[in-house]
Amino acid sequence: VANVSVSCTQIPLLALEYEPPRTQSFKTVEASLRVDALASAGFKISRSKLVNLISNGDVRVNWTTVTKNGTTLKTGDIVSVSGKGRLKIGEINSTKKGKFSVELIRYL
């Protein structure tokens, strides 16, 4: 700040007001916890298109670029796809038939 006088005051962290991110939560049943299966369900795109995005380096899990579509996800992982958005993996439960019931939280 070149020619303008600036003053700062310290405020407690709890006094900060922010708007929490808007999310949409839904459940899906998938045969595996692979990144291509869960991300295709979360972003409503086909697995083959998602495999192309992974090979192009457009898919990241916890802000690390994924190069293999067989990467296994766990609760709390964040999947982001360039141009599509961000997705958080919620609660994971097993079904009677051996599949996985997964809660997906999509950031809007």
Which CATH fold topology does 22-107 show?
Answer: 3.10.290
Specify whether the CB–CB gap between 99 and 29 falls below 8 A: yes
pTM beyond 0.85: no
Which tens digit of pLDDT belongs to each residue from 83-107? 999 999 999 999 999 999 999 999 9
Tokens of residue 71, six digits? 């990467």
Contacts by 74-77, CB closer than 8 A, 24 or more apart? 74/33
So where are the chain's domains?
Answer: 22-107
Which tens digit of pLDDT belongs to each residue from 26-78? 999 999 999 999 999 999 999 999 999 999 999 999 999 999 888 899 999 99
